Structure 1
Amino acid sequence: MTTWTTLRPLLPTVFVPSAVFGIGQGAGSPVIALTARDLGASVGVAGVIVALVGLGAVLGDMPAGRVVARFGERRSIIAGSMIGTFGVLLSLLAWTPAVLALGALLTGVSNAVWGLARQSYLAEVVPVEMRARAMAAFALMWRLGFLIGPFAGALVILGVGTRGGFAVQLIGVVVSGYLMSRVPDPPRAGDAPAGGVSLATILRRHRRLLATLGTGSLLMGAARAAREAALPLWADHLGLEAASASLVFGIGAACDLLCSYPAGQLMDRYGRRFIAVPSLLIIAVSYFALPWSHNIWALGAVAVVMGIGNGFGNGVIMTLGADIAPPATRAEFRAAWRLTHDFGMFLGPLIAGAAATVVALGVAVSALGVVSVAGAAVMYRYIPRFTSAPRRSSPTSVRS
């Protein structure tokens, strides 16, 4: 039985909703800063409002584990979708930058609850020997949607204005939430504590793992997210027009998509370290090469390398989280695990922007390369300690 035949039951309930959700996110993300500027916010305040989506994800990770453990994946997805709907509505109707900021924050919280519930469901229903492929396919569909989203948003924006991107995002949140809310909750471990355990308990109980391999997760999140600040800043440094810069980024995103699913296959066959370490090293190479790109062609080459590195990293953190989560507190642990990565993703762009105001942009970008190498070293050291080689057995059908 082929992999896609085995995963087919998850197509309408997990993979398609992930793509729809990604379309909404891809349509809404580019217009947050533009809407903030239209409302009179300065460039700095607009940047902070954009960052609040990441902060909301970090804040949402904290209670998300207990929410999923207590109420199950299905009801958590419904709750996350309701929060997201309210957040996007606030952004769509925002009359001041403060209201837009609240909408961005709630959107991030929704993403955390929604994302944890989806990953938790996949980890429960997919056989371990196919786990990385399932996680990579999940990430692939989200990224495919995120790539399509800006184009769908642009068509609506042409008709109704800048906030048309939020309208597409609103539809994406509602439709994806409905599609995935139809799945039944997977069975719980018999020894799972009623009502779950607190995040503080999880952090204390697994402090050694989270302080070591979790540091690698944080560094990987920072390295991957910082590229969204580094590439635009360098394109601006070169004086590229927005259309040219967008073309370059689109090519990089396409390479990202092409590498996502093969990465999952390689992880299932050769282990998690086999992909996690090279992914970060490839990203490091792109950061070190970026200051040497002096025209659009060189920048395009760097974007391709960066896209390949990021694409091979798709699904790594989700797969590791599923591998190392203890059966009795899986949802709570995965929330703590997501917190390490999401905190890195929140810090990465902020560090890149802050460093560029203190030192030369080329130096700041090279520092991101050092962060990537450090992440690769931590992953190389600690992945074998906390994960085992993937089991080899004939795949079984997943539950729909």
Structure 2
Amino acid sequence: MPIYLIALTSFVLFLSTQVGVPVLPALAADLGADARGMAATLAAALMTLVLLQFFSGLLADRYGRRRVLVAGAFLGGISSLLCAVVGRWQFLLLLRILGGAADAIAMPALLGLTAEISEGRHGTAFGILRSSQGLSFAVAPAMGGWLSLWGLRVPFLTDGLLSLLAGVIIAFAMGERVQVTSTSRTAEQWGQLKSIFVDRRVYAFVLFGAVNNFAFPILSSFVPTKGQLLGLAPWQVSLVVASEATVYTISSYLAGRLSDRWGRRIFVLVAQPLIILACLGLAWSRELQSLAAFYALFGLGGSMTFLMSSVMMADITPGDRCAAVLGAFDALIDLVIFVAPALALSLYGPLGRIEPLLLLASVPAWLALAIAWRVQDTRPLVLALDQMC
């Protein structure tokens, strides 16, 4: 099925973008970077992705999603291969920016292709896509650390080859389904994009996705830190982190399929109490088992609210504009990734404790829980039952 080809491509692309992250600080330091340079090298790709993704989806809708996705994959592959031979950390920084631009080109096209081939079953299609991404995030750090045993540049060589492989898969195994709009003016496309964001439901969907993207960077920073302070061994901290990634991957797949039958809103409503309970539990936990259990619970709730935000947005987006709209939508949600850790770190200084920060991670979930009751489901249960018959 085409969706599994897209999922495979997504897995390979996200695996490639993450496999070099564990060794980036060491490689930057080896090339002469100070602490600020190392931090800039780590943040460069994500910042570029978020900034450019607001607009890069227009390219996919105008020139063809498959074509643009292939271009992004090959650009990312080349930038990573050059990272494997770079001689100065400043050039490494520039190549990471180029890699972020490649991801910004590819991601909206990937979202557009997923919506395009779903044939009305957005939950199933996006569930498969997000679960493949979750799996790549679970595998990539361990793979990158293992590859680094053969040298700091080996993960980037692997990254580049994987990106090129993803480009080849899409180029030869996937065709264009939607007629491209190369004759459309950019101003006209931009006007069509703005017309979608007039719908006030969009901002509720942004909030549903932001719940996960606000909580996750805080928890992913301070849960391992708390584990370290509690005296857990590194392998035990890795087990805690893996519990969240594993549940996130499985939950994305199952929730997506079930939402095509039961509707979307029920999963948003269930997700928020799970996230709140998980944050409370993580703040209270004092041992390995409870940390792993509550972090896994967060993976369950976070996956559902994040997935449903994309699915509900896809439900109301016209097919000929879905790459541009979903790319801009994804970028809006990703902006929270910068705000959350900065806020948490600024509060950690005066507070001097981790527990309040873990509770802070749940704040958007309280707001989303109140708003979700007022948002009409984009796939009512009656419609889902009609399509099953």
Question: What TM bracket, shorter-length normalisation?
Answer: 0.7 to 0.9
The whole-number CA distance in structure 2 between the counterparts of 1:148 and 1:267 is: 27
The whole-number CA distance in structure 1 between the counterparts of 2:133 and 2:205 is: 25
Answer whether contact 1:140 1:257 (CA < 8 A) is retained.
yes
Shift of 1:320: 1.9
The answer to whether structure 1 residue 227 and structure 2 residue 219 are counterparts is yes
Shift of 1:385: 6.7
Shift of 1:73: 0.5
In the other structure, the counterpart of 1:175 is 165
In the other structure, the counterpart of 2:128 is 137
Q: What is the DSSP-based 3-state SS (H/G/I as helix, E as strand, rest coil) of the residue aligned with 1:381?
A: coil
Shift of 1:274: 1.2
After superposition, residues 120-131 of structure 1 pair within 5 angstroms as 120-128=112-120, 130-131=121-122
Taking structure 1 as reference, are residues 278 and 109 closer, same or farther at Cα in structure 2, changes over 3 Å only? Answer: farther
Answer whether contact 2:72 2:102 (CA < 8 A) is retained.
yes
Answer whether contact 1:276 1:313 (CA < 8 A) is retained.
yes
Answer whether contact 1:220 1:341 (CA < 8 A) is retained.
no
In the other structure, the counterpart of 1:332 is 324
The whole-number CA distance in structure 1 between the counterparts of 2:374 and 2:88 is: 48
After superposition, residues 1-400 of structure 1 pair within 5 angstroms as 8-11=1-4, 13-43=5-35, 45-128=37-120, 130-159=121-150, 161-182=151-172, 183-188=174-179, 193-195=184-186, 197=188, 199=190, 202-203=193-194, 206-209=197-200, 210-313=202-305, 315-359=307-351, 360-382=353-375, 384=376, 390-393=383-386
Shift of 1:393: 4.8
Shift of 1:380: 3.8
The whole-number CA distance in structure 2 between the counterparts of 1:40 and 1:69 is: 42
The whole-number CA distance in structure 2 between the counterparts of 1:32 and 1:118 is: 26
The whole-number CA distance in structure 2 between the counterparts of 1:393 and 1:298 is: 42
Shift of 1:16: 1.8
Q: Deviations over 1:272-296 (max 9, x none)?
A: 1111232233222222222222232
Q: What is the DSSP-based 3-state SS (H/G/I as helix, E as strand, rest coil) of the residue aligned with 1:93?
A: coil
The whole-number CA distance in structure 2 between the counterparts of 1:68 and 1:196 is: 15
Answer whether contact 1:74 1:185 (CA < 8 A) is retained.
yes
Alpha carbon RMSD of aligned pairs, Å?
3.0
The whole-number CA distance in structure 1 between the counterparts of 2:94 and 2:292 is: 36
Taking structure 1 as reference, are residues 314 and 371 closer, same or farther at Cα in structure 2, changes over 3 Å only? Answer: closer
Gaps of 5+ in 2: none
Taking structure 1 as reference, are residues 379 and 245 closer, same or farther at Cα in structure 2, changes over 3 Å only? Answer: same
The whole-number CA distance in structure 1 between the counterparts of 2:22 and 2:191 is: 35
Answer whether contact 1:84 1:106 (CA < 8 A) is retained.
yes
Q: What is the DSSP-based 3-state SS (H/G/I as helix, E as strand, rest coil) of the residue aligned with 1:315?
A: helix
Taking structure 1 as reference, are residues 355 and 179 closer, same or farther at Cα in structure 2, changes over 3 Å only? Answer: farther
Answer whether contact 2:21 2:144 (CA < 8 A) is retained.
no
The whole-number CA distance in structure 2 between the counterparts of 1:213 and 1:248 is: 29
In the other structure, the counterpart of 1:5 is none
Answer whether contact 2:24 2:41 (CA < 8 A) is retained.
yes
Taking structure 1 as reference, are residues 368 and 132 closer, same or farther at Cα in structure 2, changes over 3 Å only? Answer: same
Shift of 1:201: 6.4
Taking structure 1 as reference, are residues 332 and 252 closer, same or farther at Cα in structure 2, changes over 3 Å only? Answer: closer
Shift of 1:386: 6.1
- TM-score normalised by structure 1 residue count: 0.85
Q: What is the number of residues matched between the two proteins?
A: 385
